[in-house]
């Protein structure tokens, strides 16, 4: 069924197709049709991630549902956790169109969306009207108009407003589509930002009577020294998790494709090896001290299983769904469960 739907979608502008897909999913869910068109979710291997209990290791990455408008429908696809956003304090239109490009022959997507969203208050309203009671992450960022030296204020606004409604909160400092945002990954800037957010997290935990984990999402375009520095800061600040990784600015894998010259972040198959390198090196530095969520380049079940083998506790998918369809979720659940079972067998033998 998805193959037929995909041919229609790929005949449309990528951003229009994105919105059409979400609208169709939402309508199908409301009409009770998804239970007939989506097979029963396979039995996964339950895991604990940042203190949260998950029925399987496969989640949805941020970016697909920026405003939390399709939470119930996306949950029906079998994900054990959903991450909505990136959301900013104030609504913003994002970058000029066109800003989203598909490369089917490369199983890749280029985007320069620029945190287009309706703002944190609109996201919260959508969460409150959803029926979903599973694990929900809220991915937060800063407004484009906010100077980078004032970025912490934007993150604090989102943290405070999202806290009562989130299972965990992800701090996005790695999008290449907001000017200077990635500078927050430098050691001193990261130490300051995460220290500030962790202090507020402690206050909010006391205020609300529950602890909401805080994760940070990093880029794949980091060298070995930068990865080591991020790992050290993460341990020092006692961050609860690291999401590795966001999109890459390196489009050398696309050459000589005409879209290789487009600005924006590249996701899908071409980012797989870069993401895996960061994940592997982070796991080596952290040695299990902080859980890792592997994302980037998962276009098959084997890709998801490999993320776990490299040190991830869980994985997230997004771009792979565009090319493989919802079946990818179930395939990844089975593959990750097999990896977990094999690991258990080794430890108990």
Give one DSSP letter per residue of 152-187, joined into a string.
HHHHHHHHHHHGGG-SEEEEE---TTSTTGGGGGSH
Q: Is 23 within a domain? A: no
Instruction: Tell me how many domains the chain contains.
Output: 1
203 pLDDT band (50/70/90 cuts)?
A: very high
Range of weakest confidence among 37-51, 144-158, 257-271: 37-51
What's the whole-number mean pLDDT along residues 184-190? Answer: 95
What's the whole-number mean pLDDT along residues 275-281? Answer: 98
What's the confidence (pLDDT) of residue 297? Answer: 97
Report the mean per-residue pLDDT for the chain.
94
Encode pLDDT of 32-87 as tens digits. Answer: 878 767 778 888 899 999 999 999 999 999 999 999 999 999 999 999 999 999 99
Return the SS3 of 257.
coil
Other CB atoms within 10 Å distance of the CB of residue 1: 10
Q: Is 157 within a domain? A: yes
**pTM of the entire predicted model:** 0.95
Note if the bond before 173 is cis, omega within 30 degrees: no
Return the SS3 of 138.
strand
Q: Is 160 within a domain? A: yes
What's the whole-number mean pLDDT along residues 102-114? Answer: 96
Flag whether pLDDT at 177 surpasses 90.
yes
What's the confidence (pLDDT) of residue 16? Answer: 95
What's the confidence (pLDDT) of residue 341? Answer: 63
Q: Is 316 within a domain? A: yes
What's the whole-number mean pLDDT along residues 189-201? Answer: 98
Flag whether pLDDT at 342 surpasses 70.
no
The whole-angstrom separation of Cα 173 and Cα 326 is: 28
Range of weakest confidence among 142-146, 256-260, 328-332: 256-260
Q: Is 122 within a domain? A: yes
| Active-site choice (175, 267, 300, 319) | 175
CATH of the domain at 271: 3.20.20.70
What's the confidence (pLDDT) of residue 39? Answer: 77
What's the confidence (pLDDT) of residue 41? Answer: 87
What's the whole-number mean pLDDT along residues 217-234? Answer: 97
Q: Is 200 within a domain? A: yes
Flag whether pLDDT at 318 surpasses 90.
yes
What's the confidence (pLDDT) of residue 35? Answer: 73
Q: Give first-to-last CA distance, the chain, whole Å.
A: 43
What's the confidence (pLDDT) of residue 212? Answer: 98
What's the confidence (pLDDT) of residue 346? Answer: 40
Other CB atoms within 10 Å distance of the CB of residue 346: 8
What's the confidence (pLDDT) of residue 344? Answer: 53
The whole-angstrom separation of Cα 143 and Cα 190 is: 18
Flag whether pLDDT at 99 surpasses 80.
yes
**By residue range, what is the domain housing residue 54?**
38-344
Please indicate whether residue 175 is annotated as part of the active site.
yes
347 pLDDT band (50/70/90 cuts)?
A: very low
What's the confidence (pLDDT) of residue 36? Answer: 67
What's the confidence (pLDDT) of residue 31? Answer: 84
Return the SS3 of 191.
helix
What's the confidence (pLDDT) of residue 40? Answer: 83
Flag whether pLDDT at 348 surpasses 60.
no
Other CB atoms within 10 Å distance of the CB of residue 73: 22
Q: Is 337 within a domain? A: yes
Burial of 93 (0-12, 13-18, 19+ CB in 10 A): exposed
Other CB atoms within 10 Å distance of the CB of residue 223: 10
Flag whether pLDDT at 4 surpasses 80.
no
Measure Cα distances from 248 to 186, 258, 266, 268 in Å.
Answer: 17, 17, 5, 10
Q: Is 14 within a domain? A: no
% the chain with pLDDT above 90: 87
Flag whether pLDDT at 295 surpasses 70.
yes
């Amino acid at each position: 069924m998805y193959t037929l739907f995909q041919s229609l979608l790929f005949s449309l502008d990528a951003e229009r197709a994105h919105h059409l897909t979400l609208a169709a999913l939402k309508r199908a869910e409301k009409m009770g049709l998804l239970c007939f068109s989506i097979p029963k979710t396979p039995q996964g291997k339950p895991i604990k991630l940042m203190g949260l209990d998950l029925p399987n290791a496969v989640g949805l990455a941020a970016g697909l549902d920026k405003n939390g408008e399709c939470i119930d429908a996306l949950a029906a696809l079998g994900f054990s956790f959903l991450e909505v956003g990136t959301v900013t304090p104030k609504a913003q239109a994002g970058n000029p169109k066109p800003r989203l490009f598909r490369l089917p022959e490369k199983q890749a997507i280029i985007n320069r969306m620029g945190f287009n969203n309706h703002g944190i208050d609109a996201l919260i309203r959508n969460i409150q009207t959803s029926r979903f009671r599973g694990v929900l992450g809220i991915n937060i960022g800063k407004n484009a108009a906010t100077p980078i030296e004032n970025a912490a204020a934007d993150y604090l606004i989102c943290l405070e407003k999202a806290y009562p409604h989130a299972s965990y909160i992800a701090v996005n400092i790695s999008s290449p589509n907001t000017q200077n945002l990635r500078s927050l990954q430098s050691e001193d800037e990261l130490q300051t930002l995460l220290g500030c957010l962790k202090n507020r997290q402690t206050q909010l935990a006391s205020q609300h009577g529950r602890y909401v984990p805080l994760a940070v999402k990093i880029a794949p375009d980091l060298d070995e020294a930068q990865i080591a520095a991020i790992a050290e800061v993460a341990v020092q600040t006692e961050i609860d998790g690291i999401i590795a990784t966001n999109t890459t600015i390196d489009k050398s894998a696309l050459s000589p494709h005409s879209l290789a010259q487009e600005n924006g972040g590249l996701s899908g198959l071409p980012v797989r090896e870069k993401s895996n390198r960061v994940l592997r090196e982070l796991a080596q530095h952290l040695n299990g001290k902080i859980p890792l969520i592997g994302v980037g380049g998962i276009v098959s079940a084997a890709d998801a299983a490999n993320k776990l083998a490299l040190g991830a506790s869980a994985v997230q998918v997004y771009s792979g769904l565009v090319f493989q369809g919802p079946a990818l979720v179930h395939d990844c659940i089975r593959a990750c469960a097999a990896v977990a079972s094999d690991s258990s067998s080794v430890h108990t033998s």
